[in-house]
Amino acid sequence: MNIREMAASDTRALQQIYLDARVETFHWWPAGSFKLEDFEKSRVLVAELEGKMVGFSSSGDEHFLHNLFVAPAAQGKGIGKQLLAACFASKLNKPVRLKCTVRNTKACAFYEANGWEIEAANVANDPDPYHLYIFR
């Protein structure tokens, strides 16, 4: 697997991964509420497997993970774990945070299995409450 910075030519493929994963993961939200621009102003890393884009992460300078998505067909292969490691390799001695909707139990379990701790549980948010996770 290869992890690299996003190139402008990656946009279309990443948008499709983003939409496919969000529709499958957030099945209780209307699909029309997902914006393709949600990750445009972040540092985006792309995961490639056998020459095909299979996931991405986006983070900002504020030590916050905005998005981590792996194509549904590529999940369970360690791609998310490697994207997390690459995303925060340069922020080693600083805490990193993310929000994860409580109903996304698969993602919550993934983060907790990878060393993230709940800093604040069930924070109110429309349309769903979320956990605020921290990784030290």
**Does pTM surpass 0.75?**
yes
Per-residue pLDDT of the chain in tens (136 residues, 90 and over written 9): 999 998 888 888 887 787 777 777 665 555 555 455 555 667 889 999 999 999 999 888 778 998 898 888 899 999 999 999 998 886 667 889 999 989 889 999 999 999 999 999 888 766 678 889 999 8
Q: Pick from 65, 18, 63: which is nearest to 37 by CA? A: 18
Are 22 and 34 in contact by the 8 Å Cβ rule? The answer is yes
Q: Pick from 42, 44, 46: which is nearest to 60 by CA? A: 42
CATH number for 95: 3.40.630.30
Question: d(Cα 67, Cα 59) in Å, to the nearest integer?
Answer: 7
Q: Which two tokens stand for residue 14?
A: 């990443």
pLDDT at 108: 94
The residue with tokens 């529709």 is 23
pLDDT at 39: 58
The residue with tokens 């994963």 is 21
Structural domain including 8 reads: 2-135
pLDDT at 34: 46
Instruction: Tell me how many domains the chain contains.
Output: 1
